[in-house]
Amino acid sequence: MDFHRPPAIVRSFERLFSLSAEEREHLDRITCAGEEIEPRRKLIVEGKPCRSLHLLTSGWLVESKQLRDGTRQILNLRLPGDVVGIECLAYKNALHSTAALTPCTVTTLSFEQFQEIQRDFPRLAAALFLMTLLEGAILHEWEVNLGRRAAFPRVAHFLLELDRRLHLRGLGIGAAVPFPLTQQEIADCVGLTTPYVNRILQQMRAKGMIELENRLLTIREPALLAKAAGFKPDYIDHWGEGWFGQVLNEPQPD
């Protein structure tokens, strides 16, 4: 482990602008009080009041909607460095559930604490707004995946996106990334059956495109997989580079 690498939550903000000493100290202060939560515990329950935001500092969360027939659709995977539940600022009750997929460390922010950040650290508050735009871009790609891509490119796109998100957060292990998902959970993400996902993964392994073992994913042929998926990572790689991001990155007055 690289102990000199900044935490994922800091890296998320630093992809937008260089943090001042005060901003970084504030992030360190609010995240040091993180709570350890166990897998399957729900942070946000669909249809229930939601009165706080969450900063995910370690582990994976899953956002999902449960259907009447007992099946579920995973809407997004939340990774270290993500801000979770910001949509609760706009809605009285939660629109979907969010639960721990793995052991997690989460810092909870009340709305009052969020207002303090807006007042005392406006660039951090602006960054939270831009992060929601990134999530919107990711969700649009998931919509295309579910609506238009065939099964093989659908799974390929999902794996490439996840690999890219994890590496950008400094969470890669060499060429590999942590991959705690079961085949059922992959199926719930891409809208396929578990046996179908199993066959696709076997095809990818047989072609030497991926290696998936010991809860680690290694993409061996990223160019071939990207061609099969039509994967273009611009929506992940270049987020925050618009004019607003440039304004945030301007030198701050003393």
Summarize the confidence of residues 218-228 as an average pLDDT. 97
Q: Tokens representing 248?
A: 């945030």
Note the pLDDT of residue 151: 97
- The one-character DSSP state at 211 is E
d(CA 99, CA 15): 26
CATH 2.60.120.10 fits domain 1-120:
yes
249 versus 111: which is more confidently predicted?
111
User: Between these two residues, 60 and 129, which has the higher pLDDT value?
Assistant: 60
Exposed / middle / buried, residue 136 (Cβ in 10 Å: 0-12, 13-18, 19+): exposed
pLDDT tens digits for 165-218? 999 888 999 999 999 999 999 999 999 999 999 999 999 999 999 999 999 999
- Residues 58 and 12: beta-carbon distance below 8 Å: no
Mean pLDDT of 211-231: 96
With 80 as the cut, is the pLDDT of residue 240 above it? no
| Contacts with 216 (C-beta within 8 Å, 6 or more apart), sequence order | 173, 176, 177, 178, 179
Least confident window among 21-25, 45-49, 132-136, 180-184 = 132-136
The residue extents of the domains of the chain are 1-120, 134-238
pLDDT at 9 over 70: yes
Instruction: List pLDDT tens digits, range 13-43.
Output: 888 888 899 999 999 888 888 899 999 999 9
Give me the pLDDT at residue 12, please: 87
Reported confidence tier of residue 244, pLDDT bands at 50, 70, 90: low
- Selected residue with higher pLDDT from 25 and 240: 25
CA dihedral 144, 189, 128, 11 (to 10 degrees): -110
What is the CATH class of 134-238? mainly alpha
Q: What would the two tokens of residue 64 be?
A: 């999902």
Cα(51)–Cα(58) distance, integer angstroms: 22
**Confidence check: pLDDT of 85 > 50:** yes
Distance from C-alpha of 73 to C-alpha of 101, rounded to nearest angstrom: 14
SS3 251: coil
